[in-house]
Homo-oligomer: A and B are copies of this chain.
């Protein structure tokens, strides 16, 4: 069996995402599913369950951030260069409630040799914007995909 990396950017993105998702315990715990990945792009979903609610009966901001941050992670690792978040900001626009099914779409706003910028929009099942997230990542070098 060969460890050769795929040449095709789309295949590379899918292979990197599949391996990342397999290792990502936090995403699994949150029920975050990967719907689509492309070079510089990822779309992920999460349903708001009981334990995610805070004291005002709204989804905890940390869980919304976690969904958006995960989408950025998959988009920023899609070129098979490990990237970690340097910082991020999030604007909360409307509450997410029990049972809401959220979709996060991350797209690459900029990429240099070392840093990336990603915008993530989180919407609910009615297409309403729940929050906007923007983050900056830093590439550490190396490869996301590990040999089989």
* Residues of A in contact, count (CB < 8 Å): 55
A87-B92, A132-B109 known; A66 and B56 CB under 8 Å?
Answer: no
CB distance from A5 to the nearest CB of B (A): 17
Of A28, A56, A62, chain B has the most CB atoms within 10 Å of the CB of A62
Q: How many of these chains are in the complex?
A: 4
List B contacts of A85 (CB < 8 A).
61, 92
Q: Does A29 contact B (CB under 8 A)?
A: yes
Residues of A within 8 A of B (CB): 19-30, 50-63, 65-67, 69-70, 73, 82, 84-93, 95, 109-110, 114-115, 117, 119, 129, 132, 134, 136, 138
